[in-house]
Amino acid sequence: MAKIDKNFLDIGYTDHLSRQLTPIHQLDPRAKLVTTLVFITTVVSFGKYEISALVPFFIYPVVLAAMGNLPPAYLLKKILLVSPFALLIGIFNPLIDRDILINLGDIRIAGGWVSFTSILIRFILTVGAALVLIAVTGFNAVCMALQKLGVPKVFVVQLMFLHRYMFVLVEEASRMVRARSLRSLGNGGAGIKTYGPLVGHLLLRTMDRAQRIHLAMCCRGFDGQIRIMKPLKIRPIEIGFIFGWSALFIFMRFFNIPLLMGNTITEFLR
């Protein structure tokens, strides 16, 4: 329970981070969204045994996080906390793919371990990029960007409602759970018999609330259309941001920079 409370404090913190005023924060959200998507697509487009060529891609989340004034420890912690589905599935690779892929002197490394490491790196890169995106952009700005990029308004508007009332309802839910655990004294009380009414009540209250919100909207002239005043502007700097990064990603996709550098260094040492 406490963990979940904390999780939501975390969202609040992400929201807080997203309201800074660094140059990265001030970029049009569309530029950041599009660039991040290009980034993720490029990262996952590598073959499954790729490791070294993926490394330079850390530059994107690192630079954004640094310029966006995001605390690295916080990001790392969040990446570690993330649902581990990818790792659960990935860990089967070393068990199944036992063909030796790398001979490093006497050390032989199976293909499975290589691909597992690759999954790990992809995981950190993609999750990191998504977290950085939201922390330097803010949820509502992402919503605005989605809308401007052609996502249906109905969807965008209820994304915003979801985000707004998430905080309210989670607080309500945690109060209820607290009340339940205070009175169930360790045994019973948390079974399905109490669960139904507990969650059911929350749901009924939620639906009543939705009705009151609708009422409040009607009182202020709601006619089925949500209008938001938020001028988004693509300036040359946004164009530069998108194309600059994308060009770098594509370059890094085709040229294995670490390998080239490593070669140069080992050549030199020889």
Partner 1 sequence: MSHHIIEAQDLHYSYPDGTHVIKGVSFRITHGESVAIVGANGAGKSTLLLHLNGYLRPTQGTLRIGDYPLTKRNLKSVRRTVGMVFQEPDDQLFMPTVFDDVAFGPLNLGLPLTEVEERVINALETVGMPHLRDKPPYKLSGGEKRSAAIAAVLSMSPDILVMDEPTSDLDPRARRRLIELLKTFEHTKIIATHDLDMAVDICERTIVIYEGRITADGSTLELLQDETLLERSGLEKPLGMQSCPVCESNEKKVIKDGLHSTGRRR
Partner 2 sequence: MHMADALISPAVGGAMWAASAGLIGYCSKKVKQDLDDRKIPLMGVVGAFIFAAQMINFTIPGTGSSGHLGGGMILAILLGPYAAFLTMASVLTVQALFFADGGLLALGCNIFNLGFFPCFVAYPLIYKKAVGRNPGEARLFTGAIISAVVGLQLGAFSVVLQTVLSGISELPFVTFVLLMQPIHLAIGIVEGLATTAVVIFVGRARPEIITAAAESAHIGRVSIKKVIVGLLAATILTGGALSWFASSYPDGLEWAMSKTSGSDELASSQKGLHTSLAHIQEKTAFLPDYGFKAEEIETTTEIRKSWPAVDAGTTVSGLVGGTVTLLLAGLIGYTLKRRKQKLKTQPVDASDV
Q: How far is the CB of 109 from partner 2 (least distance, A)?
A: 8
Q: How far is the CB of 237 from partner 2 (least distance, A)?
A: 17
Under the criterion CB under 8 A, does residue 194 sit at the interface with partner 2? yes
Considering only residues 113-132, where is the footprint of partner 1 by CB under 8 A? none
Q: Which is nearer to partner 1, 154 or 247 (CB)?
A: 154
With CB under 8 A as the rule, give the number of residues binding partner 2.
135
Q: Which amino acid is at 170?
A: V
- Among the listed residues 2, 73, 99, 220, the single contact to partner 2 using CB under 8 A: 99
- Among the listed residues 160, 176, 248, 257, the single contact to partner 1 using CB under 8 A: 160
- 246 contact, one of partner 1, partner 2, none, CB 5-8 Å limit per kind: none
- Among the listed residues 65, 136, 144, 242, the single contact to partner 2 using CB under 8 A: 65
CB atoms within 10 A of CB 207: 10
Under the criterion CB under 8 A, does residue 228 sit at the interface with partner 1? yes
Under the criterion CB under 8 A, does residue 74 sit at the interface with partner 2? no
- Among the listed residues 148, 198, 246, 248, the single contact to partner 2 using CB under 8 A: 198
Q: Cα–Cα distance between 255 and 261 in angstroms, integer?
A: 11
Q: Which is nearer to partner 1, 78 or 209 (CB)?
A: 209
Residues 6+ apart with CB under 8 A from 119: 48, 86, 87, 90, 93
SS3 of 65-124: the string is: HHHCCCCHHHHHHHHHHCCCHHHHHHCHHHHHCCCEEEEECCEEEEHHHHHHHHHHHHHH
Q: Cα–Cα distance between 158 and 210 in angstroms, integer?
A: 12
Q: Are 149 and 30 in contact (CB under 8 A)?
A: yes
Considering only residues 9-28, where is the footprint of partner 2 by CB under 8 A? 11, 14, 16, 19-22
CB atoms within 10 A of CB 67: 13
Give Cα separations from 130 to 37, 88, 135, 241, 266 (angstroms). Answer: 9, 20, 9, 17, 35
Contact window for partner 1 (CB under 8 A) among 126-134, 165-173, 187-195, 256-264? 165-173
Q: For residue 103, what are the β-bridge partners?
A: 108
Give Cα separations from 33 to 44, 223, 228, 252 (angstroms). Answer: 17, 30, 20, 20
Per-residue binding letters, 147-166, with partner 2 (x by CB under 8 A)? ----xxxxx-xxxxxxxxxx
List of residues contacting partner 1 (CB under 8 A): 12, 15, 19, 139-140, 143, 160-161, 163-165, 167-168, 209, 212-213, 215-223, 225, 227-230
